[in-house]
A and B are shown apart, each in its own frame.
Chain A
Amino acid sequence: MSDIFPPLLTPLHYDYMLRAIVVSGLIGAVCGFLSCFITLKGWSLMGDALSHAVVPGVAVAYALGLPFAAGALGTGLLAAAGMAFVKARTPLREDAVIGVVFTAFFALGLLLISINPSGVALETIIFGNILGISDFDIAQIVVVAAATLLVLGLKWRDLLLVCFDPHQARALGLNTAVLHAVLLALLSATTVAALQAVGAVLVVAMLITPGATAYLLTDRFSRMIGVGMALGAGTSLVGAYASYFFDGATGGCIVTLQTLIFLGVFFFAPKHGLVRLRQLARLRGHEAAQPAPARTPAAQS
């Protein structure tokens, strides 16, 4: 059978591979969209924290036979609320608060899993298991992804304003507290979806790297969203596909790919890339009198 098809197409003839590739791509696109907000809002650590804080929720959900998304979202939001609570009542710095709260949740998760090993394998949560994903899990991911894309697609301008200038958002009568909570809920939900694809440890990469890469490539937020989504989806599709040849390390493949692209952009981006910056610095050094070349103006309308 296999010699009929070129070996590169082999993965596409396995049902489980096709499903893994499509689901990964969907998750990648959602994470890419959200990552634009996370990187700009300075919530990278928060994303990392939530990805660990959902673990006890997943463990409990599996033990009780509930949808994993519900459990994960529950403990994710609980952790976010816990951080806000501790932050408001102590003079501790935010990173210390986040560190204390998320490790507490993660430790609780590990404890629950070791007490009740029949529920879900630790490896599934930590490293993801997109190749062995069940139909029910896929359904949950699709619902989460669709809801997230819908909310982001409709309200990205409001969310952008809240991230960029919360004062102006309030001055316009927007409910910034609600919009904040919406962003946090989307982050929790997306974390849960991405957990399946790459696992708790690498979720944070999906939620940061595409946005960070896109940021280096453009100065316009709308374009940043497009680039971030394309990067997220592209790397996830290719990474999942490539993982067939690497025997299952889907998360590793996706994130490695994202990192390689980030490095390429980091060095060679047309405006913010290291090479270009060096060039500019040299130009300035040589012709101090001449004004440094301004950015190439975007299409004048």
Chain B
Amino acid sequence: MTESPPDSPPHSPAESPPLELSVEDITVSYPNGHVALRDTRFRLESGRICALVGVNGSGKSTLFRAIMGFVKPSRGRVQVGGRSMQSALKAGLIAYVPQAEEVDWTFPVSVWDVVLMGRYGYMNFLRMPRARDREVAEESLRRVGMLEYRDRQIGELSGGQKKRVFLARALAQRSRIILLDEPFTGVDVQTETAIIKLLRELCAAGHLILVSTHNLGAVPEFCDWVVLINRTVLAAGPTEQVFTQDNLVRAFGGVLRHFKFDESTVQKHDEKAVTLLTDDERPLVFGKGGHLEYSHREGKEDVLAERDEEEAEAAAAPEPRSR
């Protein structure tokens, strides 16, 4: 049935050739005539973490389903490294981490069973795990810090633990492309940080990671690429180019909670006009002049330098207070 892909060792950046996921002008419509996605097109390369951002009903889930081949686009196609999606799936190139709501947590399967499910593609017709499969499963569980829970029934885990187990399954699958559907929903901050760290490592090792999220604040923290969608692609590209105030307002319309300091009761903000965008999650902060702001300074020296430069310029030639 499934042809077993070669049981290759974990990919190190040196030995994994670049891999490209291209979504080519797909249109997805449902039997009732509703068009969920129209002429959607973007390309992603391995070694990137890409955020798929859009409001509820913008077609994020549909796009994921189309990429995974769960729904067939009425036009266009999805390709991975020049091969069709079906052949890429059979080759074990793509792993999927589902949303918590998609999983039946009352099922009588243990953490260990779930992680081994990531190894089915490597197993024989009977799906009997071999020593190598157990080894990889164990290593994957250890990597997400869930090895000690291996015999737990999955319903007995906390939200964050559940997420880590399914992440471990994706790791065990050893796929170059990993899709995560809303990975931070119902997850505590430590787990969120741990997941982000892990995704960064995978990305550095040459994986291609696509994360669908409505957690805007987390996006600039760990994604280097963004695809903004609302029934079609509104913008796609590097985070600092795409994740702008204008684009987000366009993508989200009136859905976001805006909190503008100069319109609020906060009057003393030291002339630093700040816009804070949030949808119950981490706030996304735009500084003076609509600049994207980060929560930490480490590694953002260039941004700081840029701001200082602008400040100096502004001081030299004071501009009128209103636009």
Interface residues of A (CB under 8 A from B): 40, 88, 154, 157-158, 160-161, 163-165, 167-168, 170-175, 215, 218-221, 224, 294-295, 297-300
The reply to whether A167 and B96 contact each other, CB–CB distance below 8 Å, is yes
Cα distance A295–B155 when bound, in Å?
Answer: 11
Cβ of A288 to closest chain B Cβ, rounded Å: 19
The reply to whether B153 and A172 contact each other, CB–CB distance below 8 Å, is no
Which parts of B120-154 form the interface with A (CB within 8 Å)? 120-121, 125-127, 151-153
The reply to whether B94 and A171 contact each other, CB–CB distance below 8 Å, is yes
Convert B165-191 into 0s and 1s, putting 1 for each residue whose CB lies closer than 8 angstroms to a CB of A: 000010001000000000000000000
The reply to whether A175 and B117 contact each other, CB–CB distance below 8 Å, is no
Tell me which of B89, B102, B126, B127 contacts A171 (CB under 8 A): B89
When C-beta atoms are compared, the residue in chain B nearest to A225 turns out to be B108
When C-beta atoms are compared, the residue in chain A nearest to B69 turns out to be A170
Cβ of B127 to closest chain A Cβ, rounded Å: 4
Cα distance A262–B165 when bound, in Å?
Answer: 32
28 inter-chain pairs at a CB distance below 8 angstroms, sorted by A residue, are A154-B126, A157-B126, A160-B109, A161-B117, A163-B107, A164-B117, A165-B117, A167-B70, A167-B96, A168-B118, A171-B94, A171-B96, A172-B2, A172-B89, A173-B86, A173-B89, A173-B90, A173-B91, A174-B2, A215-B108, A219-B153, A220-B109, A220-B110, A221-B107, A221-B108, A295-B152, A295-B153, A295-B156
Cα distance A298–B151 when bound, in Å?
Answer: 6
Given A165-B98, A175-B1, A40-B103 contact (CB < 8 Å):
no
The reply to whether A168 and B98 contact each other, CB–CB distance below 8 Å, is yes
Tell me which of A175, A221, A297 contacts B151 (CB under 8 A): A297
B104 contacts A by Cβ under 8 Å:
yes
Query: CB-CB < 8 A to B276: which residues of A?
Result: none
B17 contacts A by Cβ under 8 Å:
no
Cβ of A229 to closest chain B Cβ, rounded Å: 15
When C-beta atoms are compared, the residue in chain B nearest to A91 turns out to be B32
B92 contacts A by Cβ under 8 Å:
yes
Q: How many residues of B contact A (CB 8 A)?
A: 36
Tell me which of A40, A154, A294, A297 contacts B107 (CB under 8 A): A40
Cβ of A88 to closest chain B Cβ, rounded Å: 7
Tell me which of A88, A154, A165, A172 contacts B92 (CB under 8 A): A172
Cβ of A231 to closest chain B Cβ, rounded Å: 15
Given A168-B117, A170-B68, A294-B89 contact (CB < 8 Å):
no
Given A171-B96, A172-B121, A174-B1, A164-B109 contact (CB < 8 Å):
yes
B203 contacts A by Cβ under 8 Å:
no
Query: CB-CB < 8 A to A300: which residues of B?
Result: 151
Query: CB-CB < 8 A to B125: which residues of A?
Result: 154
Tell me which of A157, A173, A220 contacts B121 (CB under 8 A): A173
Query: CB-CB < 8 A to B117: which residues of A?
Result: 161, 164-165, 168
The reply to whether A173 and B2 contact each other, CB–CB distance below 8 Å, is yes
Query: CB-CB < 8 A to A215: which residues of B?
Result: 108
Cα distance A160–B90 when bound, in Å?
Answer: 19
Given A158-B127, A164-B107, A221-B113 contact (CB < 8 Å):
yes
When C-beta atoms are compared, the residue in chain A nearest to B116 turns out to be A157
| Residue among B103, B108, B169 with the highest chain A CB neighbour number at 10 A | B108
Cα distance A189–B272 when bound, in Å?
Answer: 73
Query: CB-CB < 8 A to A163: which residues of B?
Result: 107
Cα distance A220–B113 when bound, in Å?
Answer: 9
Cα distance A220–B103 when bound, in Å?
Answer: 16
B254 contacts A by Cβ under 8 Å:
no
Query: CB-CB < 8 A to B169: which residues of A?
Result: 168
B95 contacts A by Cβ under 8 Å:
yes
B253 contacts A by Cβ under 8 Å:
no
Which parts of B59-84 form the interface with A (CB within 8 Å)? 68-70
Cα distance A152–B128 when bound, in Å?
Answer: 14
Query: CB-CB < 8 A to A224: which residues of B?
Result: 108
The 9 closest A-B CB pairs, nearest first, are A173-B90, A157-B127, A219-B153, A173-B89, A171-B96, A298-B151, A172-B121, A221-B108, A173-B2
B6 contacts A by Cβ under 8 Å:
no
Cα distance A297–B91 when bound, in Å?
Answer: 36
Kindly list 19 other residue pairs between chains A and B, CB separation below 8 angstroms, not including A157-B120, A173-B89, A174-B120.
A40-B104, A40-B107, A88-B31, A154-B125, A154-B126, A158-B120, A158-B127, A163-B107, A164-B109, A165-B98, A171-B68, A171-B96, A172-B89, A172-B173, A173-B121, A174-B1, A295-B153, A298-B110, A299-B151
